[in-house]
C-alpha cells in the first residue's frame, strides 16, 4: 500500500468513526483503532479496494488466521456454554433471554432458550416452544459470523483492537467491523483466536448509535458435556446441488426461480443450493451472502397448483413483507411459485431480488 | 422397532398428557410418575427404559405438549370480520376502478397536446418557468368521474357532448403521462419512505406492520433468523 492510499483510508475510517456518538467510540478507543489500523493493516487493502476491479490484496500481515476458521467454527468446535441474548431491533419490544448452547464439533448442535428476562409478551411458554423449533435457524443465521472469507474481506472493513478482551474466561481478539458500502450497522466482535468462534458480538445502528443486539457467552466450556442435550443438524431432509445444474432441477421437479439481482452491494448467489422436502413438497433453498450477512431464498411449486403459471396461482402475484430492525422477510405466491425469503436486508431489497428472479 | 416407529408411537401417545402433570425431577433418570412412561405402549416403554437418548426425546415432547396445553384459547380478534370485509371491499373497489378505466374507449389526442408535448420534451418540469400546474386534470374531469360513478358504470359518460369527452380523455392522458412522477411521489410519501408500493414489481406487495397479522411462515423464518426479535411484541393482540 502506498502512503497516499493509506492516508486516504485512514481519513475515511476516521470519517466513519466520527459519525458515531461519543461514548460509543471514545477518544482513547478512536486512537486505538487508528493505531491498530496502522499497525495491523487490518481490513485495509494494500492494492485494490472496494469499487475497483479484482479482489483486494493485503499487506504482509493480512487478515488474522482465525478469520478463515469463522465459517466452520460453530460446527467444528466442541463446546458448551450459556449465552445472554439481548435484541433491541424492535425498540418498542426488546427481547432479552439466556440460552444453553453446545456443539459436538462434528456438525451437530443445540441451542435451547432457558429463560426470558425481558419481553413485553407474557407468553413465555409459547416463546420457548417456538425457539426450540427454530434452533437450526437461530444457530446458523442469527449471530455475527464470517460466512465466506473472500466475500467478507471484499465487502467489510475491519480493525483488530490492539488489546485483547476476555469473554467467559477466554482471551479474545476484539474486531470492529463495518460494511464498506451502504453500512447501516457496525459490529464489535470478540473472537477466540484459537478456534475462530465468536464468543460475543454487538451491533450498533450507525445513524443513532443505539445498541441493536448484544450476544455474549457467560459460561463457556471447551469440550463441555453434551449428554443431556438433544443435538440436531438438519430439520428437514436436505440434499445439495449446484445452483445451475440439471440435477438440481430434476431433484426439485420444477425450474427454480434464480435471482439475477442481489439484495445489497457485494452480495453473491451461493454456488450450492439445497433441496428440502417439507411435508412431501420439494423446496429450492438458495443463499445470497456478502460474506457476513445471509439472505435465504426459497421457492416451491405446490403440487395442488397444477403447475407453474397456470390456473388460480397465476393470479396470485402477491407477497407479504415484514421488517424488524435490520431483518426482513417475504412470503407469497408469484407465477405459481410459493416463495419465502428472509435476511438481514431491507424489504425493498427482498422484493427486488424476487422480482429479478421472474424476469 | 426402528427409531422412527418409536418416535411415531411416542407422538401418538401424547394425547394423554395434561398441562398439570408433574414437571419436576426430569433430570433424575426414569421416574414413571414424571416421565409418564405409562402413556406409552409396552414395547416402546422397554426401549425408553434402556435408551437415555429416547427418554430425553420423550421428555422434550412432554415439555412441548405441556407448554402447548397451558396456552389459553385465544379468541378471534373482534375486528377480524371488519378487516376481512374491508380488505375484500378495497380489492373490489380497485378492480372496479381498473375496469372502468379499461372500458374507456380509445380517443385520439388533440393536436394541441402534441404541440405541448413537443414543447416540454427534454425540459425538466420545474425548469424554465414551466408551470407544472398545467399537468393537472381540469375540474370537468372531476365532475365527469363523479357522474360516472354515481351512474354505476357504462362505457361512456351519458349525455355529455363529444367535445367534453374528448377534453376529459386528453386531460386524463396528460395527467397520467406527464404527471406520473408527481403522482407516484404522492403515493410514496403516503405509504412510507421506502416506496415499496411505487416500485414496478411484477407482483403486488403488502407490507405487514403487525406480526400478529402475518403468516406463520413469515414470522417463524424472520423470528428464527433474528433469534426471536419479533416475539417481544406478542403473537396476537
Question: Given this model, what pLDDT does residue A52 score?
Answer: 37
Who among A97, A228, A317 is closest to B203 (CB)? A317
| Residue with grid cell 374491508, as numbered in its chain | B86
Contacts of B68 in chain A (CB under 8 A): 129
Q: Which residue of B has its CA nearest to A318?
A: B204
Among the residues of chain A, which ranges form H helices? 3-19, 27-40, 73-76, 124-133, 135-137, 149-155, 246-252, 311-315, 347-357
Report pLDDT digits (tens) over B101-150: 777 777 777 777 777 777 666 555 444 444 544 555 656 667 767 766 66
Question: Given this model, what pLDDT does residue A33 score?
Answer: 41
Q: Of A183, A201, A214, nearest to A345 (Cα)?
A: A183
Report pLDDT digits (tens) over A23-66: 223 333 333 343 344 344 455 444 333 333 444 444 456 899 99
CB contact at 8 A, A340 and A334: no
Cβ–Cβ of B222/A327 closer than 8 Å?
yes
Grid cell at residue B12: 401418538
Who among B52, B227, B235 is closest to A138 (CB)? B227
Report the complex ipTM.
Answer: 0.74
CA distance A253 to A147: 30
Q: Give the minimum alpha-carbon distance from B135 to chain A in angstroms, rounded to a whole number.
A: 30
- Count CA atoms closer than 13 A to B77's CA, side-chain side: 11
H-helix or E-strand spanning residue A340: strand A337-343
CA distance A267 to B128: 43
Under DSSP, is residue B52 helix (H, G, I), strand (E, B) or coil? helix
Q: Give the minimum alpha-carbon distance from B120 to chain A in angstroms, rounded to a whole number.
A: 32
CB contact at 8 A, A209 and A216: no
CA distance A181 to A49: 12
CA distance A91 to A324: 9
Cβ–Cβ of A348/B71 closer than 8 Å?
no
Alpha-carbon distances of B192 from A73, A124, A177, B196, B203, rounded to whole Å: 40, 33, 30, 8, 19
Name the phi and psi angles at A14, rounded to 5.
-65, -35
Supply the mean pLDDT for chain B.
66
Q: Which pLDDT band holds residue A147 (cuts at 50, 70, 90)?
A: very high
Name the phi and psi angles at A25, rounded to 5.
-115, 95
pTM for the full model? 0.59
| Sequence-ordered list of residues with C-beta below 8 angstroms from that of A303, at least 6 positions apart, any chain | A280, A281
Cβ–Cβ of B229/A318 closer than 8 Å?
no
CB contact at 8 A, A201 and A189: yes
Chain Cα centroid distance, residue A286 = 14
Chain Cα centroid distance, residue B45 = 47
Cβ–Cβ of B218/A322 closer than 8 Å?
yes
Question: Given this model, what pLDDT does residue B34 score?
Answer: 60
Amino acid at each position: 500500500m502506498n502512503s497516499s492510499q493509506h492516508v486516504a483510508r485512514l481519513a475515511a475510517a476516521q470519517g466513519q468513526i466520527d459519525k458515531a456518538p461519543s461514548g460509543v467510540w471514545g477518544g482513547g478507543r478512536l486512537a486505538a483503532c487508528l493505531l491498530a489500523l496502522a499497525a495491523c493493516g487490518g481490513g485495509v487493502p494494500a492494492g485494490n479496494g472496494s469499487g475497483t476491479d479484482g479482489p483486494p490484496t493485503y499487506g504482509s500481515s493480512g487478515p488474522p488466521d482465525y478469520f478463515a476458521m469463522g465459517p466452520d467454527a460453530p460446527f467444528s468446535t466442541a463446546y458448551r456454554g450459556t449465552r445472554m441474548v439481548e435484541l433491541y431491533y424492535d425498540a418498542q419490544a426488546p427481547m432479552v433471554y439466556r440460552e444453553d448452547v453446545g456443539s459436538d464439533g462434528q456438525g451437530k448442535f443445540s441451542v435451547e432458550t432457558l429463560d426470558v428476562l425481558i419481553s413485553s409478551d407474557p407468553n413465555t411458554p409459547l416463546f420457548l416452544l417456538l425457539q426450540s423449533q427454530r434452533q437450526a435457524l437461530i444457530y446458523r443465521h442469527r449471530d455475527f459470523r464470517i460466512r465466506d472469507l473472500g466475500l467478507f474481506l471484499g465487502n467489510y472493513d475491519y480493525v483488530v483492537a490492539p488489546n485483547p478482551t476476555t469473554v467467559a474466561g477466554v482471551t479474545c481478539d476484539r474486531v470492529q467491523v463495518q460494511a464498506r458500502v451502504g453500512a447501516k450497522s457496525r459490529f464489535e466482535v470478540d473472537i477466540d483466536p484459537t478456534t475462530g468462534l465468536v464468543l460475543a458480538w454487538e451491533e450498533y445502528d450507525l445513524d443513532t448509535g443505539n445498541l441493536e443486539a448484544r450476544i455474549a457467552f457467560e459460561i463457556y466450556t471447551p469440550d463441555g458435556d453434551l449428554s443431556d442435550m438433544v443435538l440436531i443438524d438438519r430439520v428437514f431432509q436436505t440434499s445439495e446441488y449446484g445452483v445451475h445444474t440439471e440435477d438440481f432441477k430434476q431433484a426439485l421437479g420444477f425450474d427454480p426461480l434464480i435471482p439475477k439481482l442481489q439484495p445489497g452491494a457485494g452480495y453473491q448467489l451461493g454456488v450450492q443450493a439445497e433441496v428440502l422436502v417439507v411435508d412431501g413438497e420439494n423446496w429450492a433453498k438458495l443463499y445470497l451472502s456478502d460474506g457476513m450477512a445471509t439472505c435465504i431464498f426459497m421457492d416451491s411449486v405446490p403440487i395442488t397448483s397444477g403447475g407453474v403459471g397456470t390456473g388460480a396461482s397465476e393470479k396470485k402475484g402477491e407477497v407479504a413483507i415484514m421488517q424488524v430492525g435490520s431483518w426482513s422477510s417475504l412470503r407469497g405466491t408469484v407465477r405459481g411459485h410459493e416463495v419465502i425469503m428472509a435476511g438481514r436486508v431491507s424489504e425493498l431489497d427482498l422484493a427486488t431480488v424476487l422480482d429479478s428472479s421472474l424476469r | 422397532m426402528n427409531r422412527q416407529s418409536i418416535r411415531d408411537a411416542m407422538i401418538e401417545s401424547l394425547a394423554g398428557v395434561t398441562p398439570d402433570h408433574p414437571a419436576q425431577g426430569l433430570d433424575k433418570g426414569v421416574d414413571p410418575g414424571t416421565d409418564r412412561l405409562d402413556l406409552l405402549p409396552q414395547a416402546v416403554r422397554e426401549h425408553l427404559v434402556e435408551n437415555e437418548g429416547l427418554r430425553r426425546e420423550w421428555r422434550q415432547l412432554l415439555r412441548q405438549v405441556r407448554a402447548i396445553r397451558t396456552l389459553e384459547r385465544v379468541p378471534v380478534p373482534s375486528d377480524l370480520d371488519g378487516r376481512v370485509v374491508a380488505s375484500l371491499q378495497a380489492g373490489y373497489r380497485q378492480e372496479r376502478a381498473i375496469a372502468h378505466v379499461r372500458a374507456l374507449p380509445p380517443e385520439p389526442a388533440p393536436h394541441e397536446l402534441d404541440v405541448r408535448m413537443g414543447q416540454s420534451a427534454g425540459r425538466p418540469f420545474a425548469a424554465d418557468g414551466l408551470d407544472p400546474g398545467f399537468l393537472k386534470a381540469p375540474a370537468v374531469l372531476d365532475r365527469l368521474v363523479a357522474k360516472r360513478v354515481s351512474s354505476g358504470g357504462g362505457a361512456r359518460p351519458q349525455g355529455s357532448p363529444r367535445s367534453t369527452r374528448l377534453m376529459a380523455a386528453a386531460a386524463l392522458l396528460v395527467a397520467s403521462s406527464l404527471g406520473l412522477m408527481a403522482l407516484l411521489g404522492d403515493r410514496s410519501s403516503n405509504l412510507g419512505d421506502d416506496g415499496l408500493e411505487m416500485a414496478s414489481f411484477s407482483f403486488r406487495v403488502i407490507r405487514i406492520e403487525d406480526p400478529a397479522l402475518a403468516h406463520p411462515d413469515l414470522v417463524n423464518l424472520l423470528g428464527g433468523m433474528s433469534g426471536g426479535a419479533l416475539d417481544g411484541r406478542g403473537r396476537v393482540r
